[in-house]
A and B are shown apart, each in its own frame.
Chain A
Amino acid sequence: MGDGLTLAAVLPPDGAASVEALGPVEALVAVTALNQAHTAGGVVDTVAAGLARGFAGRKAAVLFVDGGSQDGTFEGVSQRPVDGGAVPVASARVAGRPGRGRAVLAALAAARHVGARAASVVDAGLVSLAPESVEILLAPALGGDADYVSPVYDRALTDGTLTTNLLGPLVRALFGKRLQEVLGGCAGVSAALLDTLPPAEEWDDEPTGQGAEMRLLGQALTRQHAVVEVHLGRKQLDPGVAPTDLAHTLVDAVGPLFRLMERDPGTWQDVRGSVPVPRRGHAGSMAPPAGDVRPDRMVRAFHLGLKDLLPLWEQALSDETLGQLYPLGLLGPDDFRFPPPLWARVVVDFAVAHHERRLPRDHLLRALTPLYLGRIAAFVLETQAGSSPGGADALERVGSAFEAEKSVLSARWR
């Protein structure tokens, strides 16, 4: 084993000893948690049941990694009575500053340490995970068909709007891969991908939030690893007691993607166009119905932002973008629109402003909130009026708009 991501660098001695005790493992599923006491135990049981069912007679294990929970998550899982199942379950807890990203990092290092041919990292809040999904997630990497396995869910149009309107289209434009999920709550990885991961000290800027998952995805996409998507049914992710306000979500999810762009611009600047990622399994017969979303509050949030945050937006957005935003302030909730090309330009402007540090980064990402809400209001109105199944047309328009902005982004990135 080369240098790369090592266990000793990410887990304290007792945690590393728990991993060592597992011995060599062919397939490892790590459940990572931070303050998710009420769901972690159930997800660990599901994963253990899935491995017992799909990997009978083969060496598989579950590793529970806690990112420093304060609500008794670690104690609740590690001190539970073991039901004597065929699959060993180990527990470890990262030391120092709490962070879910550090738990993910420890899980990846552990998978590499035990020599797993395939591993999966699962969020302890992914309560919709079924036992059979465990095998589905691991199979492509075990079979040597893929190095990164991304989930696909049956989701309503009003689910995952940050993914469908920002993260997904931006990843598509940057790396040329059309993924449904960017931060899907779980992922499968191969030993080959684990071996290319950088050492722990290079992950220092991603200790919290979803940075580690984004970095893992970035590693797969920029190093040209084989990526597949697998259907996992419906998604239900319980965030636990983590803060759930929208501005925080933007900082947590968009920030890592902007940082990924900064890390190695050479890997994405010349990419043009995009291709679909090979997909396995079948979507459910019926997508969940979209909820009854009222865009009026989102439009009001946009108007308030346009009134009060304009001095900040002026520092992030180009004059041309601002010129196209002003007329949107005159539109009411019924006829509100925020065309995908304008939205793509807004995101590109923010990415460049983030790169050039025109504002404190946390402030900049939080200042994106009213613009995002405006875009989602328009998206809801578009899809309510549209006729394509699942709003496919609307989603494609967003993806294409981001791809069209790619040359502008590459040219402005210094």
Chain B
Amino acid sequence: MQQEWSDIVLDAIRDVGHRLLVVTPRLLAALTLILLGWAVAALVRRVALRIMSAADLDARCVRWGLSGALGRSGHRLSPTELVGRLVYWAIFLVGLLMAVEALEMPGTRGAVGTLLAFLPHVIVAVLVVVGGWMLAQFLAQGVLIAAVNAQVAGASLLAAAVRWLVLTVAAAVALTELGVAREMVLLVFGIAFGGAVLALSLAFGLGARELARQALESYLNRAREDRGQPVSHV
């Protein structure tokens, strides 16, 4: 009885010891990878910041209108700092994934490979969203100015419609790139966009026919008045 008890205890200790012997190097490897990821991320961030400062990225972004656009979207960071943080977290995330892989936990085997294989799609989707957002801002601004200069009432509404149209298209393209319910996204986008255009056409053509006539008349009258104004500018 006593022999049996001691065998069980010793077996348990041996088992735990064996497991610890197997797990400890993995834990140490995971910790090392996390630390390495952090160190590399911090180093690359610092180098990137120096390169961007030397290239005067912040001033260039002001000239290209990116800083203004970032500010309007609520970002308080400078472009240099923003890129630095993105670089830092991207590298640190890779380190974390490698650490998880090193632990060889059930269900995580191949996770890094899968995630890295998916990374190009994520990058493309992010670029599409960022590009779409910038294009939306630019076009909406252009439409707003043109509409105000043409003295169109509701210019802000028109600009907002253009902004959201471009953003919706960009979001649909990004989701398709990520493979998120590809067919459903295309279908929903097609139905929503087509429906909105049809609804607007019907509303304007049937419900607001008189309004459309008045708007056109008003526009043509204004153009006639402008031609009649004896003002030359240059």
Contacts and interface: CB of A to CB of B under 8 A. Distances in A.
A249 B148 contact: no
Contacts of B13: none
A134 B142 CA distance: 43
A374 B225 CA distance: 17
A376 B225 CA distance: 16
A9 interface: no
Nearest to B63: A357
Contacts of B114: none
A246 B227 CA distance: 12
Contacts of A292: 230
Interface string B118-150: 000000000000000000001001101111110
A166 to B, nearest CB: 9
A255 B142 CA distance: 17
Contact of B65 (A291, A293, A359): A359
A312 B232 CA distance: 27
A158 interface: yes
B25 interface: no
Nearest to A165: B233
B231 A359 contact: no
A394 to B, nearest CB: 15
Interface string B44-65: 0000000000000000001111
Contacts of B222: 297
Nearest to A291: B230
Chain B, interface residues (CB within 8 Å), range: 20 to 34
A315 B68 contact: yes
A237 B232 CA distance: 10
A358 B148 contact: no
Nearest to A372: B233
Classify the interface of chain B: helix, strand, loop or mixed: helix
B160 to A, nearest CB: 11
Interface stretch (A19-27, A189-197, A298-306): A298-306
B178 interface: no
B233 A301 contact: no
A177 to B, nearest CB: 18
B108 interface: no
Interface string B151-175: 1010110000000000000000000
A304 B234 CA distance: 24
Interface in A218-241: 237
A253 B149 contact: no
B55 to A, nearest CB: 16
A360 B234 contact: no
Nearest to A361: B65
A304 B64 contact: no
B6 interface: no
B73 interface: no
Given A160-B232, A163-B234, A366-B146, A304 B151 contact: yes
A270 interface: no
Contact of A356 (B63, B141, B153, B232): B63
A162 B233 CA distance: 5
Interface string A319-359: 00000000000000000000000000000000000001111
A247 B147 CA distance: 11
B141 A293 contact: no
Contacts of B155: 304, 308
A308 B233 contact: no
Contacts of A358: 62, 65, 68
Contacts of B65: 357-360
A357 B62 contact: yes
B234 A253 contact: yes
B217 to A, nearest CB: 16
Contacts of A127: none
Contacts of A369: 145, 148-149
Interface string A144-157: 00000000000010
A69 B149 CA distance: 28
A161 interface: yes
Interface in A19-70: none
B229 interface: yes
A158 B151 CA distance: 22
Contacts of A263: none
Contacts of A264: none
Contact of B225 (A183, A210, A297, A370): A297
Given A158-B231, A253-B234, A363-B142, A309 B148 contact: yes
A159 interface: yes
B233 A246 contact: yes
A329 to B, nearest CB: 14
B151 A301 contact: yes
Given A293-B230, A297-B222, A366-B149, 12 more contacts: A156-B230, A161-B232, A210-B234, A300-B151, A308-B144, A312-B141, A357-B62, A358-B62, A358-B65, A360-B141, A363-B141, A369-B148
29 contacts: A156-B230, A158-B231, A159-B231, A160-B233, A163-B234, A237-B232, A246-B233, A247-B146, A253-B233, A290-B230, A293-B231, A297-B151, A304-B155, A308-B144, A308-B147, A308-B155, A309-B144, A312-B141, A315-B68, A356-B63, A357-B62, A357-B63, A357-B65, A359-B65, A359-B68, A360-B65, A360-B141, A363-B142, A366-B146
> Nearest 3 A-B pairs (CB), nearest first?
A291-B230, A357-B63, A162-B233
Interface of A: 156, 158-163, 167, 183, 210, 237, 245-247, 249, 253, 290-294, 297, 300-301, 304-305, 308-309, 312, 315, 356-360, 363, 366-367, 369-370, 376
Interface of B: 62-65, 68, 138, 141-142, 144-149, 151, 153, 155-156, 222, 225-226, 229-234
